[in-house]
Chain A
């Protein structure tokens, strides 16, 4: 029902385009900071932990960066970043739309003759599906760089070994796989959060509860679809 209302022909395409640009700023560009910070540190931690666990001298050092690369490309930059974004932009969307509901701003849109579900949710869905892949690619690059910085700084691996490892038997499809997952997760986060906000009843307490529900349900859905997509795309 909600998605039917969301995916209808917009009343005024220019207004929707303008909203998409605004939402790219709010949901995408404003998330760059957290994605960069988390990616650097996760890359660093994977490098250090892998180095600690590879004690047998039979294993070459470049396995460290190979592990970092595959962990980041396959799982971290798509799924873990999506979980973090579910917390950041999911709660943002649910609380913004929920507040609009309880302060009658959504009723005001309806009175104007605007399809409020579509006007509020569609630009967010499109913006996240367009920009989250950029965040994912950024996270991949920065995560691997973070691993290099940590590895070289601690002396666990040399720069040459690290670069050799990240190039070793590289499968470009892993990047595509990560991006496909990101697009699906962006859809999940934005639709679930918009739904939770749109149907809020009550006051500020209920808006807070809806915001929490949006994060929890989005996270569970991401974990579930992560398994489904892994089976579909990798097996």
Chain B
């Protein structure tokens, strides 16, 4: 479980996050939604420690992460897998080398075992015969799946996904969404997903938090959204004519 307690964050005098508190449950896909610029990515980066919050606490299973020193933070980070918006695969390394990276860096197992793990992870994300390809040779969806394979290589306890569906077609988006949900349940991990893809919200939003102008404006499940009368949430989620009809029905 990850707890965010009264987090605030400003940049050059502009407050981006305002006293946000959220509990992210283990074994569930926790979605953070909101407009571009609402503070979702800043929140995620505060949680993983890429940004230092101005005030408040981030707790990983009762350990206050943002009060730890660099070395202690690195120990926690070894339990974290993260899927970045663009995949963030290492350009100069092959698919296999990308997934081997955390295994080489943090495990003492033999190369044979490491390669086995690489192949298990690739198989899990339905990537075959791509071990020796470079990221530039992969499609957008494949890059995301390889990034997921790399994120799960060390069997993480926490998985973070920043806009996992950005730049993907609807079909590939569903594949990625389902994969994240299955992995969350399979590994019993705490998963936090930043998204503004409404299909994802409806498909896998076991817990959904809506961020509006740096504050938590709403919290519930995907089914609760359909029944919510929160005007700001409805304006965001049901912005298109199609979704408005869905809400009306």
Contacts and interface: CB of A to CB of B under 8 A. Distances in A.
Interface string B79-96: 011101110111110000
A103 B88 contact: yes
Contacts of B89: 105
Interface residues of A, number: 18
A9 B105 CA distance: 14
Contacts of A15: 104-105
B67 interface: no
B88 A12 contact: no
B101 interface: yes
A10 to B, nearest CB: 10
B82 A111 contact: yes
Interface in B41-61: 48-50
A111 B77 contact: yes
Contact of B84 (A99, A108, A115): A108
A114 B106 CA distance: 9
Q: Which range contains the number of B residues in contact with the other chain?
A: 20 to 34
Nearest to B154: A112
A108 B88 contact: yes
Contacts of A112: 77-78, 101-102, 105-106
B84 A107 contact: yes
B173 to A, nearest CB: 20
B192 to A, nearest CB: 13
B119 to A, nearest CB: 20
Given A104-B84, A104-B85, A108-B84, 9 more contacts: A11-B106, A100-B90, A100-B91, A105-B91, A107-B84, A112-B77, A112-B102, A113-B74, A114-B105
Interface of B: 48-50, 70, 73-78, 80-82, 84-86, 88-92, 101-102, 104-106, 160
17 contacts: A96-B92, A100-B91, A103-B86, A104-B86, A105-B88, A105-B90, A107-B82, A107-B84, A108-B88, A108-B90, A111-B81, A111-B160, A112-B106, A113-B74, A113-B75, A113-B77, A113-B80
